[in-house]
Amino acid sequence: MIKHQLYNILALTAILFAVMACEENEDFLAFEEANSNITIEGYPAYAAEFSLLDQVVLPVKAPGAQEIQVIREVTYTPAGADDAVEISETLATLSGPEATLTSSIAEITKNPENLPPSELGAVSLLFQVNVNGQTSFRRFDLEFFDPLTVEAPEEAFNDSTILVKYALDNENATISNVSVFLRDTTQGEFSTTPLKTFTSTEDSLEVVIPAEAVVAPGGDI
């Protein structure tokens, strides 16, 4: 019991000395607010998912900054390697204090291995400004998704007709057309001429399942 009280006394004494030190020196462990608080309009979490068809469009504000440097940071693992590699290089330099970054996903994610975004470890953009000799940073994390979804029956009979639906989820991309091609056997090639070409981001078409002479029961199209 006496030993426990002695520890408490020593702890309180240490705290008291720390408080006195802070009072004597007001700059002790002082933290100052950055001269420029970088914000990205519409993305308070500083992270977002983008369709693989989209452009990355980010409105940036950095009060007091004449320039906003944007650095792309990409982590990937080369084929056959155990350790990841990180790319860190300037993507763009924008005129501040307000600007909009517009970039293709291919430009942001390009890498020597030509790995698609789905095979990269991490992708982010680092926004950096210098105001009154002080540098401020803001990291923005990106993830990507396949914008195309297709609905069709898992099984069908030969010589029957099925309905296939598709939809594209995109925001900043302009879709000129969507073409649908047929491959009537697993090992075959896709048709050179599309079954149908659409100009809308959501539609459906009827597909005639080939006869048994073309695709035997249990086969795939």
Question: pLDDT tens for residues 115-155?
Answer: 999 899 999 999 999 998 899 999 999 999 999 999 999 88
Query: Which residue type is seen at 5?
Result: Q
Task: Give the whole-angstrom CA distance, residue 176 versus residue 198.
Answer: 9
Q: Beta strands 98-104 and 122-131: pairing type?
A: unpaired
- For residues 200-219, average pLDDT: 85
- Greatest alpha-carbon pair distance for the chain in Å reads 95
pLDDT over 80 at 83, yes or no? yes
Identify the residue with better confidence: 9 or 88.
88
- How confident is the model at residue 221, as a pLDDT? 84
The sheet carrying 161-168 orders its strands as: 148-151, 161-168, 202-208
List the Cα angle 74/147/152 in 5-degree steps. 140
What's the mean per-residue pLDDT of the chain? 84
Supply the pTM of this predicted model: 0.69
Instruction: Please list the residues that pair with 43 across neighbouring strands.
Output: none
Q: Are 94 and 67 in contact (CB under 8 A)?
A: yes
What does the pLDDT read at residue 126? 97
Return the pLDDT at 32: 53
Q: Which residues contact 14 (CB under 8 A, 6 or more apart)?
A: none
- Per-residue pLDDT band for 217 (boundaries 50, 70, 90) equals confident
